Chains A and B, each alone.
Chain A
Amino acid sequence: MDKFTTLTGIAAPMPLVNIDTDMIIPKQFLKTIKRSGLGVNLFDEMRYNQDGTEKPDFILNQPAYRSAEIIVAGDNFGCGSSREHAPWALLDFGIRCVISTSFADIFFSNCFKNGILPVVLPQEAVDALMEDAKKGANARITVDLASQTVTGTDGTTYGFEVDAFKKHCLLNGLDDIGLTLEKVTAIDRFEGQAAQSRPWV
């Protein structure tokens, strides 16, 4: 997994609430057995016409936002299915950070496993950053994980909360499985005890 430390980039405004994982990556693209290559199909049904041509008014098709690295989104981003194809598609497109007032639970945790930082901010801050994002390529937003801040185009800084363990893993690009396997004796012990107390499991 790639580290996430600090990022200054173009942010795409997507004020729609409840952007679900079916919108982020429709199911016909879940048939892959790989993690890569999903970026072209990110937001597929919103982004392309049935004949495959681009819909010019979709935000990521506009010249200013083709290289966006951040999305500022409406409430409850990523609701719906557990498909990790959603963060894979975002990442493959080049998105490393999503800012919203709230995220769906599974999507939120999937982001961290893929080097994407989901940032939760209060409504006023998201509204202000949404306005910044609308300014297009002239406006860049800076996200700094170490100091847990987002800085808007006018220099206003917003602090955000992030789970200490998740932050540590993301800053250092650490693999969860490797970390857990260091605790294998504790797992062995638990399994041994459970085999006694709940043998039917």
Chain B
Amino acid sequence: MTTPTQAAPKTIYDKIWDAHVVDTSEDGTCLLYIDRHLVHEVTSPQAFEGLRMTGRTVRAPQKTIAVPDHNVPTTEGRDIRIDNEESRIQVDALDKNARDFKINYYPVSDIRQGIVHIVGPEQGWTLPGMTVVCGDSHTATHGAFGALAHGIGTSEVEHVLATQTLIQKKSKNMKVEITGRLRPGVTAKDITLSVIGETGTAGGTGYVIEYCGEAIRELSMEGRMTVCNMAIEGGARAGLIAPDETTFAYVMGRPHAPKGAQWEAALAWWKTLFTDEGAHFDKVVTLRGEDIAPVVTWGTSPEDVLPITANVPALTDFTGGKVEAVQRALDYMGLTPGQKLTDIQIDTVFIGSCTNGRIEDLRAAAAILKGKKIAVKRAMVVPGSGLVRAQAEEEGLAKIFLDAGFEWRLAGCSMCLAMNPDQLAPGERCAATSNRNFEGRQGRGGRTHLMSPAMAAAAAITGHLTDVREMMAEPAEAI
């Protein structure tokens, strides 16, 4: 290590980390201050129970934000009654805990309710330079704002509730650079899946990733959230993107964003949040934006990624422990090596989740679907929040989905993890815009192919995995 001098160049991760260290132990373990703590119904009940048992309180209720999302049905009437008893108990427990501990809360009856990682940014709770945690691995999403955001377990949820800090060791710095520009039909989802295809699901373990490069800079905030969201699927503790004018424009005017003089002060600090020239990265991965194609997953790990033009791989393409995993994945997915990906028939299409449940995602899917009908058994759109849903209705997107034959649901996690009634049946094959294709993720025996919203829309129309670029070639579909 070089001796730290005042001018030692730092990464953005180093800067945010340094600004939040409360205490450092001899062995380098730090106590890190947490600016925002997001809470949902599944990973928090035991933490609140722990507080009650020890007579502790929530240290900073004004920095704690709760919303039910994982378990909630996405059909009408859920604010009156949730049929599944266990789900109802969890949601009721969150209602009660929010009330008892006086934390910010968006119940299912509130139009602002939605997936925790969509609500946080939407309401301006997530801001550049912050430390953000949540008992949920996709907390990485908030890194899109240049915040240090990561998932924690329930014991840590309790720790943050009680102390507003987290015991942490610093991760290493990793840079993922996407140079150049994306080609038409290629989206943020294709970037993030392609990176995982390149690094593997453990490639980021021990690192915090900074995504940079021209292709990243050109993404909207929605796209940046999609990229950072899946940092965890690459094993990284967090993923982040330095804030810029795109970020500031998104944040300005949000309900919990600073205003007036505080906005100016905040902005001045946010503008210092970038990686200094010459800062050290322990690992660097570079992809050319032009090389990225629309991709899909074929297996049961997010690293099982291939361009849509490819074929299902053979066992001989792999080595070591992965061979057994691939055999298992092929069996589970019901696929044959050599089969063209575009020949894979789809039963169901799911558009939603914290990866792709934002307004831009719905616009991208609707642009493909406009005037078309679905050729799959069922298709559903689950907007990421009540506000996304309302905006999509206002823009006429809901009508496009409904006319095409999609179900238009209320906000929640839904079929991303199928804890609510939205589940795949055994063997049912789904084109999904979510983030995990694990065995049983969307329902026991269900088969998941991950892809972008535009690709999922294309599959909905043809009934099989489809290269969205072919549909975009038609002049009527030009966006």
Q: Which residues of A pack against B, CB within 8 Å? A: 15-18, 20, 22-23, 26-28, 30-35, 45, 50, 74-76, 79-84, 87, 102-106, 109-110, 113-114, 163-165, 176-177, 180-181, 183-184, 186-187, 190-191, 194, 198-201
Contacts and interface: CB of A to CB of B under 8 A. Distances in A.
Interface residues of B, number: 77
Contact of A31 (B90, B154, B258, B426): B90
Contacts of B84: 31
A109 B265 CA distance: 36
B35 interface: yes
Interface stretch (B201-209, B333-341, B469-477): B201-209
B401 interface: no
A45 B71 contact: no
B46 A35 contact: yes
Contacts of B438: 20, 22-23, 80
B144 interface: no
12 contacts: A17-B322, A20-B301, A33-B49, A81-B151, A84-B46, A105-B206, A110-B156, A180-B165, A187-B59, A198-B266, A198-B269, A200-B257
Contacts of B440: 22-23, 26, 45
Contacts of A84: 43, 46, 135, 153-155
B264 to A, nearest CB: 10
B293 interface: no
Interface in B433-447: 436, 438-441, 444
A24 B31 CA distance: 30
A200 B153 contact: no
Interface of B: 22-23, 25, 27, 29, 31, 33, 35, 42-43, 45-46, 49, 54, 56, 59, 63, 70-71, 84, 86-87, 89-90, 93, 127, 129-130, 135-137, 150-156, 158-159, 162-165, 167, 169, 201-202, 205-206, 235-237, 257-258, 262-263, 265-266, 269, 301, 320-322, 324-325, 328, 417-419, 426, 436, 438-441, 444
Contact of B419 (A27, A164, A180, A198): A27
How would you classify the secondary structure of chain B's contact residues: helix, strand, loop or mixed? loop
Interface centre among B84, B202, B235, B441 (most CB of A within 10 A): B202
B265 A82 contact: no
Contacts of A105: 205-206, 235-237
Given A23-B439, A186-B31, A200-B258, 17 more contacts: A27-B441, A45-B440, A75-B321, A76-B201, A103-B205, A105-B205, A105-B235, A164-B27, A165-B167, A183-B23, A186-B22, A186-B23, A187-B59, A187-B163, A190-B33, A194-B33, A198-B129
Given A31-B87, A82-B137, A198-B269, A187 B33 contact: yes
Nearest to A178: B54
A154 B237 CA distance: 37
A190 B22 contact: yes
Nearest to B50: A177
Contacts of A184: 163
B281 to A, nearest CB: 18
A29 to B, nearest CB: 10
B151 to A, nearest CB: 4
Given A26-B444, A186-B22, A17 B321 contact: yes
Given A22-B438, A76-B235, A199 B151 contact: no
A83 B27 contact: no
B444 A45 contact: yes
Interface centre among A17, A28, A50, A199 (most CB of B within 10 A): A17
A46 B465 CA distance: 28
Contacts of A30: 42, 70, 419
A200 B127 contact: yes
B301 A18 contact: yes
B33 A180 contact: no
Contact of A106 (B89, B152, B417): B152
